[in-house]
Amino acid sequence: MIEDLLQPRHLLVILAIALLMFGPKKPPELGKGLAQRIRGFKDALKPDSHDSA
């Protein structure tokens, strides 16, 4: 059942609904903000090289 959910046609419908809800400018901003948060989370997980001494 889960494998049927992520078909390309379903993803296009989800994208179309997101565009209708947020408008054409908002999804790129949301994606950029999400990427920055993920990058910050990864950086926070890295051990500091100068704190180990």
- Give residue-wise pLDDT tens across range 2-53: 667 778 898 889 888 888 888 888 878 888 988 999 999 999 888 876 555 4
| Dihedral angle computed from the Cα positions of residues 24, 22, 25 and 4, in that order, rounded to the nearest 10 degrees | -60
Rounded to an integer, what distance in angstroms lies between the CA atom of residue 17 and that of residue 30?
15
Q: What is the pTM of this model?
A: 0.48
pLDDT 10s digits, 20-33: 888 888 878 888 98
The structure tokens listed for 48 are 């500091």
- d(Cα 27, Cα 19) in Å, to the nearest integer? 7
- Examine residue 19 and state whether it is found in any structural domain, yes or no: yes
Q: Domain count of the chain?
A: 1
- Asked if residue 1 is part of any domain, the answer here is no
CB 30 within 8 A of CB 22: yes
Instruction: Find the domain containing 24 and state its range.
Output: 7-45
